[in-house]
Amino acid sequence: MIKTNRVGKHTAKLLMASAIALTTFSGSALAAGELHLYNWTNYFAPDLLERFEKETGTKVTVDNFASEEDLLAKLQAGGGGYDVIFPGSTTLGVMVEKGMLAKIEVSKMENFKNLLPAFTTMAGDENRDYSAPYMWGTTGFTYDPAMVPGGKMEESWKAIFEPADELKGKIAMLNEMSDVWNAAAYYKGIDKCTEDPAEAQVILDVLMAQKPDVKLYSNDGTIDRMVAGEVPVHMQWNGAAHRVKAKKPEVVYVYPKEGTTFWTDVIAVPKDAPNMEAAKTFVNWMMSPEIAAMASNYTGYSNAVAGSGEFLKDDLKADPAVNTPAEYNERLRAYKACSPASKDLREKVWTKLKS
């Protein structure tokens, strides 16, 4: 997922809603046919799909990707025929730059007025022409106290980049380039958008030194892996941590003190979407409070829709992995749009790490 998702705190004036015949679900205004979604695995509530089908008469199918690199590669190759996709902030910016998305003018949709002010704009889509927020959260790590030395781990990336001897070979990391790069950058006090090859080498050195201690890099199965006790600690998105905690209450989600990525995943529409009207209807529908809450209740992540709180499950509101404690706010690091030179360094480091 990261996932991602990754937003800065900006505010913008709401634009007046224009006449778009897709903001209600009555009579002949419904967009029928089929709607094809491309999303992270296990990241959309089946009940929501059924509800959308019932309310609109549109049949929905979902395919899954394992990483944002896979999402971008598939769309660049012209494959899939998808109507709605769920990229993170970084990938969204690339897609906007490359002209891969439809300008659906989200800011003019009826339900845009429901968004929290911090989410009415974002880097790479300042006017919300191309995307609506889906879920937002953080990237930290989760550990099982019963499986780590002394029952506690330091609130630092050091705990997984320089693990205790008992944890070597047992660390699980996400298989997500941006999240792994960012964590190492935070740990070494390096700007995650650095263009300095020497600093990129420092990041690579951290990751290569850790590599023998890593059991696997994976975005899939992070929840089941922790619940089953296959690994004692897992770099993880906070929504996944929440779902682990539901089955294993003793686990701890850590916001590392050097910096914790704060991300946003969005909903967007490819420029050649086969069912453009149904896609726009879906995007608007997802910005309604009850629908956004249903998505959060399933994924374990927060949403960006005001008024959704009354529909959220109590355990979601009570979990510090989801409802970030105020004392950790200063640890959150927002998404930054990095330069092509910086992205090139990141990709070179990732390629060397995974080779």
CA distances from 238 to 92, 144, 261 (A): 21, 15, 11
Nearest to 241 by CA among 228, 222, 257: 222
Give me the pLDDT at residue 317, please.
87
Give me the pLDDT at residue 31, please.
53
Q: Mean of the pLDDT values across residues 27-41?
A: 75
Give me the pLDDT at residue 102, please.
97
Percent of residues, the chain, with pLDDT higher than 90: 79
Q: Mean of the pLDDT values across residues 101-127?
A: 94
Contacts of 229 (CB under 8 A, 6+ apart): 144, 147
- Cα 115–120–122 angle (5° rounding)? 135
b/e map 253-280, b = 16+ CB within 10 Å: bbbbebbbbbbbbbbbbbbebebbbbbb
Nearest to 156 by CA among 143, 146, 147, 144: 143
Q: Mean of the pLDDT values across residues 327-350?
A: 91
What's the pLDDT tens digit per position in 58-110? 999 999 998 898 999 999 998 779 999 999 988 998 999 999 999 999 999 99
- Determine how β-strand 302-303 pairs with β-strand 131-143: antiparallel
**How close are the terminal C-alpha atoms of the chain, in Å?**
22
Contact (Cβ atoms closer than 8 angstroms) between residue 339 and residue 266 = no
Give me the pLDDT at residue 9, please.
27
| Structure-model confidence comparison of residues 147 and 316, the more confident one | 147
What's the pLDDT tens digit per position in 156-212? 999 999 999 999 999 999 999 999 999 999 999 999 999 999 999 999 999 999 999
Give me the pLDDT at residue 115, please.
93
| Structure-model confidence comparison of residues 16 and 179, the more confident one | 179
Name residue 322's amino acid. Answer: V
- Determine how β-strand 84-85 pairs with β-strand 34-40: parallel
Q: Which two tokens stand for residue 331?
A: 């640890």
Give me the pLDDT at residue 305, please.
93
Phi, psi of 340 (to 5 degrees): -55, -35
Instruction: Write down the mean pLDDT value for the chain.
Output: 89
CA-CA distance, 308 to 291, in Å (whole number)?
A: 8
Contact (Cβ atoms closer than 8 angstroms) between residue 255 and residue 331 = yes
Contacts of 207 (CB under 8 A, 6+ apart): 180, 184, 349, 353
Contacts of 318 (CB under 8 A, 6+ apart): none
Confidence band for 221, pLDDT divided at 50, 70 and 90? very high
Neighbours of 179 (CB within 10 A): 26
Confidence band for 337, pLDDT divided at 50, 70 and 90? confident
Residue 146 has pLDDT above 80, yes or no: yes
Give me the pLDDT at residue 190, please.
98
Scanning the chain, the segments in alpha helix (DSSP H) are: 46-56, 68-76, 89-97, 158-161, 177-188, 197-210, 222-227, 238-247, 276-285, 289-299, 314-318, 340-354
Contacts of 224 (CB under 8 A, 6+ apart): none
Q: Mean of the pLDDT values across residues 139-144?
A: 98
Give me the pLDDT at residue 194, please.
98
Phi, psi of 219 (to 5 degrees): -95, -20
Residue 325 has pLDDT above 60, yes or no: yes
Residue 22 has pLDDT above 50, yes or no: no
Q: Mean of the pLDDT values across residues 216-221?
A: 94
Q: Mean of the pLDDT values across residues 254-279?
A: 95
Nearest to 252 by CA among 130, 155, 161, 119: 155
Residue 13 has pLDDT above 70, yes or no: no
Considering the entire predicted model, what is its pTM?
Answer: 0.76
